[in-house]
Amino acid sequence: MRNVKSRLNVIFLFLAVLASLLFARSGCSGQTFKAKVTKTIDGDSIQIRYEEKTVMVRLWGIDTPEWKQPYSQTAKKFTNRSVYRKHITLEVKDWDKYGRMVAVVTTDSGKCLNEELIKNGLAWVHIYYCKEPVCEKWKRFEGNARKNQLGLWQEKKPIPPWVWKRK
């Protein structure tokens, strides 16, 4: 009896882990976990180490300037200073077509990296993907950065990355 119970516990644990992995890959939001940042790819993309795996992460709801766009390196440096080699908390929102986790990232000091990039004029609120209530708050932060000509808003007519990519 004890052996059967032990096997059932192992099977139950396996099914629970499998279900959580499938849930994460399904794009369901709300799952949170901690990880360590191992690389900064650009202003809105990082690489993390989680449970012996390397995972690429795209910051949800925002878009920073693309490579060779003004302020792309400034955004990358900001992200690097904020999270590189540090522990962060991720709230999974989705998985994109490139297999990257799409998430809201909170720094070890409790600041939302996605939001901080907007506040500092280093990101746009993404008009196609940011549709949740928090996006309204982020749009106000973006408006404030524009008004105060912070970061990329110092440019006369900054081109959003989703427009830049089409050129």
Residues belonging to the active site: 58, 66, 100
On whether the CB atoms of residues 72 and 91 are closer than 8 A, the answer is no
Give whole-number Cα distances, 163 to 40, 99, 124, 166, in Å: 23, 23, 12, 5
CA dihedral 122→156→73→125, nearest 10 degrees, is: 30
Q: DSSP character for 83?
A: H
